[in-house]
């Protein structure tokens, strides 16, 4: 079964017999519910409305079958073949009078041409006379009729020369009844399938269009955003470069300002020479920012005289003396940066 057939099967009618027994086909999930009216539980009537205007034929049929013999309202199963209406009127009280009825006889496929036939039903047999593709007469028997009953039926149908009863044909129910439905507002199975197919195609087209529009919109937005970012980068590159140069210059100025705010090396060198004990010589001078290292020779191994010599100096008062060997000594000083400490 193809995908289209599976889709159409969703709208196939769900039929059951009048006693609740499931019909010959399960039907689709979205298909209409129908109740099969057996031929054995109905009375067949045929109406020819050729002399009635087409717009009034259905109303005329409603009037013709409005009441049964007891006067109670009935709702028969009706099918139309042009101007000819076929009505199967229930002969007993029905469990669900408001159900959508379909006659068992209307589910029997018509013969290819004119025919007089006997068809096996669920209960009994039905004699049918077909002329020009239209059902001309119908009669039900509980068992196949004899030659006399069959001849009487044919004479009643207008057959001039009756024939012997034909063999009983198997009565397989078709998926769709022949003729046209009587209810104008009721949709046929084909109409339901066509409407569902159009709706499905429309929804798929709508979804595809929405996805395409979303992709196009997203692509255009990304393109515009990329162009805007490129323009912003182009415009901001000189500003970023200028800011980087300004920050580098600011750092150099701050370094130079820090050097200018501290004690000068010449002044410190002068004070160191003036306070060295006799015999001590300056052999090394290293300064890294506010960190000063002085190497002395000939100062002995005792650091106390050196520390005492610089104890009252404003910048060198925190000197730390470390003997390296018997002939050398290393001095480390962290110079202050406060304005009052300037020389």
Is residue 319 a contact partner of residue 333, using CB atoms and an 8 Å limit?
Answer: yes
Q: Write the CATH number of the domain with boundaries 265-341.
A: 3.30.1360
CA distance 330 to 308: 15
**How much is the pLDDT for 341?**
39
Is a pLDDT exceeding 90 seen at residue 287?
no
Q: In this structure, which long-range contacts are made by residues 70-78, counting pairs with CB atoms below 8 Å and at least 24 apart in sequence?
A: 75/101, 76/42, 76/101, 77/37, 77/42, 77/101, 77/102, 77/103, 77/106, 78/181, 78/182
Is a pLDDT exceeding 60 seen at residue 220?
yes
CA distance 199 to 216: 25
**How much is the pLDDT for 100?**
78
**How much is the pLDDT for 260?**
57
**How much is the pLDDT for 143?**
92
DSSP β-bridge partners for residue 47? 85
- Average pLDDT value for residue range 260-281: 80
pLDDT band at 146 (very low <50, low <70, confident <90, very high): very high
**How much is the pLDDT for 29?**
57
Strand bridging mode 168-169 / 115-120: parallel
Is a pLDDT exceeding 50 seen at residue 261?
yes
pLDDT tens digits, one per residue of 173-219: 887 889 888 875 445 555 566 677 788 889 999 999 999 999 999 99
Q: Higher confidence at residue 144 or residue 66?
A: 144
What percentage of the chain exceeds 90 in pLDDT?
A: 27
């Amino acid at each position: 079964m193809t995908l289209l057939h599976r889709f159409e099967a969703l709208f196939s009618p769900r039929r059951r017999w009048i006693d609740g027994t499931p019909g010959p086909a399960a039907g689709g999930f979205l298909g209409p519910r129908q109740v099969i009216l057996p031929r054995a539980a109905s009375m067949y009537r045929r109406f020819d409305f050729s002399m009635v205007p087409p717009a009034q034929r259905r109303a005329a049929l409603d009037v013709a079958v409005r009441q049964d013999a007891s006067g109670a309202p009935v709702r028969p199963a009706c099918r139309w073949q042009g101007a000819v209406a076929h009505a199967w009127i229930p002969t007993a009280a029905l469990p669900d009078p408001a159900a959508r009825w379909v006659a068992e006889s209307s589910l029997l496929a018509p013969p290819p041409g004119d025919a007089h036939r006997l068809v096996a039903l669920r209960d009994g047999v039905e004699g049918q006379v077909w002329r020009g593709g239209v059902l001309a007469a119908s009669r039900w028997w509980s068992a196949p009729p004899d030659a006399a009953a069959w001849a009487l039926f044919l004479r009643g149908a207008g057959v001039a020369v009756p024939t012997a009863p034909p063999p009983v044909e198997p009565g397989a129910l078709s998926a769709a009844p022949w003729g046209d439905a009587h209810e104008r507002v009721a949709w046929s199975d084909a109409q339901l399938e066509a409407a569902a197919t159009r709706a499905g195609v429309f929804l798929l087209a709508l979804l595809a269009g929405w996805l395409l529009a979303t992709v196009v919109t997203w692509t255009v937005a990304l393109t515009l955003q990329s162009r805007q970012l490129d323009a912003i980068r182009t415009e901001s590159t000189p500003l970023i470069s200028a800011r980087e140069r300004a920050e580098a210059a600011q750092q150099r100025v701050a370094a130079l300002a820090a050097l200018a705010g501290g004690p000068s090396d010449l002044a410190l060198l002068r004070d160191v020479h003036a306070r060295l004990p006799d015999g001590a010589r300056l052999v090394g001078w290293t300064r890294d920012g506010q960190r000063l290292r002085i190497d002395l020779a000939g100062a002995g191994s005792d650091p106390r005289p050196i520390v005492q010599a610089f104890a009252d100096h404003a910048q060198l008062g925190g000197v730390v003396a470390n003997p390296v060997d018997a002939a050398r000594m290393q001095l480390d000083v962290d110079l202050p940066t406060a304005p009052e400490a300037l020389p």
